[in-house]
Amino acid sequence: MQFHIPQFIEHELKILGPLTFRQTIFIGIAAAVCFVLYFTIGKLNFFIFLLISIMLIGGALMLSFLKIGGQSLPTILKNFLNFNLGSKLYIWKRKQVPIFFKPKIRKEKPKKEEKESPLKMEKMSKIKELGKKIEFGG
Protein backbone atom coordinates (compact mmCIF):
# COMPACT_ATOMS: atom_id res chain seq x y z
CA MET A 1 0.00 0.00 0.00
CA GLN A 2 1.44 3.35 -1.02
CA PHE A 3 0.96 6.46 1.06
CA HIS A 4 0.79 9.92 -0.46
CA ILE A 5 3.22 12.31 1.18
CA PRO A 6 1.98 15.90 1.25
CA GLN A 7 4.21 18.32 -0.60
CA PHE A 8 4.36 22.10 -0.65
CA ILE A 9 3.18 22.39 2.95
CA GLU A 10 4.91 25.75 3.33
CA HIS A 11 1.95 27.76 2.03
CA GLU A 12 0.68 30.63 4.11
CA LEU A 13 -2.99 30.79 4.99
CA LYS A 14 -5.12 32.94 2.66
CA ILE A 15 -6.90 35.64 4.66
CA LEU A 16 -8.44 38.11 2.25
CA GLY A 17 -9.37 36.44 -1.05
CA PRO A 18 -6.17 35.26 -2.75
CA LEU A 19 -3.96 37.36 -0.41
CA THR A 20 -2.09 36.08 2.60
CA PHE A 21 -1.91 38.00 5.87
CA ARG A 22 1.52 39.45 5.04
CA GLN A 23 0.44 40.57 1.56
CA THR A 24 -2.72 42.16 3.00
CA ILE A 25 -0.68 44.09 5.57
CA PHE A 26 1.81 45.41 2.97
CA ILE A 27 -0.90 46.58 0.59
CA GLY A 28 -3.12 47.91 3.40
CA ILE A 29 -0.34 50.03 4.92
CA ALA A 30 0.59 51.46 1.51
CA ALA A 31 -3.08 52.31 0.81
CA ALA A 32 -3.47 53.96 4.23
CA VAL A 33 -0.34 56.09 3.69
CA CYS A 34 -1.61 57.11 0.23
CA PHE A 35 -4.98 58.03 1.77
CA VAL A 36 -3.28 60.28 4.36
CA LEU A 37 -1.00 61.78 1.69
CA TYR A 38 -3.98 62.68 -0.46
CA PHE A 39 -5.43 64.90 2.22
CA THR A 40 -2.06 66.46 3.14
CA ILE A 41 -0.18 66.82 -0.18
CA GLY A 42 -2.72 65.79 -2.80
CA LYS A 43 -4.91 68.88 -2.60
CA LEU A 44 -1.95 71.24 -2.85
CA ASN A 45 0.18 69.43 -5.46
CA PHE A 46 -1.48 66.46 -7.11
CA PHE A 47 1.57 65.59 -9.27
CA ILE A 48 3.87 65.01 -6.25
CA PHE A 49 1.12 63.00 -4.53
CA LEU A 50 0.76 60.84 -7.67
CA LEU A 51 4.55 60.14 -7.85
CA ILE A 52 4.78 59.25 -4.16
CA SER A 53 1.66 57.08 -4.37
CA ILE A 54 2.95 55.18 -7.42
CA MET A 55 6.24 54.47 -5.63
CA LEU A 56 4.46 53.38 -2.43
CA ILE A 57 1.99 51.09 -4.18
CA GLY A 58 4.75 49.70 -6.43
CA GLY A 59 6.93 48.95 -3.39
CA ALA A 60 4.01 47.29 -1.58
CA LEU A 61 3.23 45.13 -4.61
CA MET A 62 6.90 44.14 -4.91
CA LEU A 63 7.07 43.24 -1.22
CA SER A 64 3.85 41.27 -1.55
CA PHE A 65 4.31 39.32 -4.78
CA LEU A 66 7.93 39.43 -6.01
CA LYS A 67 9.92 36.23 -5.52
CA ILE A 68 13.56 35.85 -6.48
CA GLY A 69 14.99 32.35 -6.47
CA GLY A 70 11.92 31.02 -4.66
CA GLN A 71 12.32 33.49 -1.78
CA SER A 72 10.12 36.48 -1.09
CA LEU A 73 11.53 40.01 -1.26
CA PRO A 74 11.20 40.66 2.52
CA THR A 75 13.26 37.53 3.21
CA ILE A 76 15.94 38.64 0.75
CA LEU A 77 16.05 42.14 2.26
CA LYS A 78 16.28 40.71 5.79
CA ASN A 79 19.18 38.43 4.77
CA PHE A 80 20.89 41.34 2.98
CA LEU A 81 20.70 43.58 6.05
CA ASN A 82 21.81 40.82 8.43
CA PHE A 83 24.84 40.14 6.26
CA ASN A 84 25.84 43.78 5.79
CA LEU A 85 25.26 44.86 9.38
CA GLY A 86 26.58 41.66 10.98
CA SER A 87 30.12 40.90 12.06
CA LYS A 88 32.52 39.71 9.37
CA LEU A 89 35.05 38.33 11.83
CA TYR A 90 34.59 34.62 12.17
CA ILE A 91 36.31 33.07 15.17
CA TRP A 92 36.19 29.38 15.80
CA LYS A 93 35.08 28.71 19.34
CA ARG A 94 35.73 25.23 20.55
CA LYS A 95 32.86 23.70 22.42
CA GLN A 96 33.71 22.07 25.71
CA VAL A 97 32.42 18.61 25.01
CA PRO A 98 33.74 15.70 27.02
CA ILE A 99 35.54 13.17 24.91
CA PHE A 100 34.30 9.65 25.29
CA PHE A 101 36.20 6.77 23.86
CA LYS A 102 35.57 3.14 24.19
CA PRO A 103 38.74 1.18 24.84
CA LYS A 104 39.18 -1.89 22.76
CA ILE A 105 39.05 -4.99 24.85
CA ARG A 106 41.50 -7.52 23.62
CA LYS A 107 40.29 -11.00 23.95
CA GLU A 108 43.13 -13.31 24.56
CA LYS A 109 43.07 -16.17 22.20
CA PRO A 110 43.75 -19.49 23.78
CA LYS A 111 47.22 -20.61 22.91
CA LYS A 112 47.24 -23.55 20.67
CA GLU A 113 49.23 -26.39 21.99
CA GLU A 114 51.98 -27.30 19.68
CA LYS A 115 51.50 -30.80 18.57
CA GLU A 116 54.50 -32.79 17.77
CA SER A 117 54.58 -33.56 14.14
CA PRO A 118 55.41 -37.07 13.06
CA LEU A 119 58.41 -35.71 11.17
CA LYS A 120 61.20 -34.72 13.48
CA MET A 121 63.43 -31.93 12.29
CA GLU A 122 66.87 -31.29 13.58
CA LYS A 123 67.45 -28.00 15.23
CA MET A 124 70.53 -27.30 13.24
CA SER A 125 71.90 -29.05 10.23
CA LYS A 126 75.06 -31.05 10.66
CA ILE A 127 77.01 -28.76 8.34
CA LYS A 128 76.15 -25.64 10.33
CA GLU A 129 77.02 -27.43 13.54
CA LEU A 130 80.46 -28.42 12.19
CA GLY A 131 81.01 -24.83 10.92
CA LYS A 132 80.41 -23.44 14.41
CA LYS A 133 82.79 -25.97 15.95
CA ILE A 134 85.54 -24.97 13.52
CA GLU A 135 84.96 -21.21 14.08
CA PHE A 136 84.86 -21.27 17.82
CA GLY A 137 87.35 -24.06 18.21
CA GLY A 138 85.89 -26.86 19.90
pLDDT at 90: 80
Q: Can you give the residue range of the structural domain that contains 30?
A: 14-85
Asked whether 56 and 33 are in contact (CB, 8 A), the reply is yes
Task: Give SS3 for 111.
Answer: coil
Supply the pLDDT for residue 79: 94
Residue 126 counted as domain residue:
no
Residue 138 pLDDT: 64
In this prediction, residue 45 carries a pLDDT of: 92
Task: Provide the domain count of the chain.
Answer: 1
Give the pLDDT score at 31.
96
- pLDDT for position 132: 80
- 29 belongs to a structural domain: yes
In this prediction, residue 128 carries a pLDDT of 81
Low-confidence ranges of the chain (pLDDT < 70): 1, 8, 109-124, 138
The per-residue pLDDT for 106 is: 74
Is residue 103, in this structure, part of any structural domain at all?
no
What backbone phi and psi angles, to 5 degrees, belong to 12? -85, 155
Q: What is the pLDDT of residue 64?
A: 93
Cβ neighbours for 14, distance < 8 A, ≥ 6 positions apart: 20
**99 in any annotated domain:** no
The confidence score (pLDDT) of residue 92 equals 81
